Amino acid sequence: MDSRDDESVVRRRRECLGCKHRFTTYERMESPRLFVVKKDGRREQYSRDKVIAGLRRACEKRPVSEAQLEEMTAALERELFSRGENEVPTTTIGEKVMETLRRLDKVAYIRFASVYRSFRDVESFQAELADLLAK
């Protein structure tokens, strides 16, 4: 018997033909390897955990559910893997995350942008706020 918990996991109930013992197996699709190219040129393997951790910090004490964070990350991954490339710059990931946060929660967007864009002074921070308010 097969059942799909989501698009990437297949749960199968099996039975040993010899001893009739029943057991469950879970099959997951193996994703292609994706590497992130850092600003200094270093490459490291893409980490879903790092994306989720950054989103959690930005959305701390905000009305954003864990399910929304998971869906944002899943949508980002679908887009990244559908490109067919095995390397992606961190700027691409950061911009996509900020684009989604801007629509979801403005405060979380500003928090994420302040770390991601490393504002050097109050003026650059104010410019980002002005841009957000204008949109």
Q: Which of 85 and 117 is assigned the larger pLDDT?
A: 85
> 32 pLDDT exceeds 90?
no
What is the pLDDT confidence band of residue 127, given thresholds at 50, 70 and 90?
confident
Q: Which amino acid is at 105?
A: D
Predicted local confidence at residue 5, as pLDDT: 53
Q: Which residue has the tokens 């490291």?
A: 44
Q: What dihedral do alpha carbons 91, 8, 63, 122 form, nearest 10°?
A: -10
Segment 17-40 mean pLDDT: 86
Predicted local confidence at residue 61, as pLDDT: 92
What is the pLDDT confidence band of residue 68, given thresholds at 50, 70 and 90?
very high
3-state secondary structure labels for all residues of the chain? CEEEEECCEEEEEEECCCCCCEEEEEEECCCCCCEEECCCCCEEECCHHHHHHHHHHHCCCCCCCHHHHHHHHHHHHHHHHHCCCCEEEHHHHHHHHHHHHHHHCHHHHHHHHHHHCCCCCHHHHHHHHHHHHHC
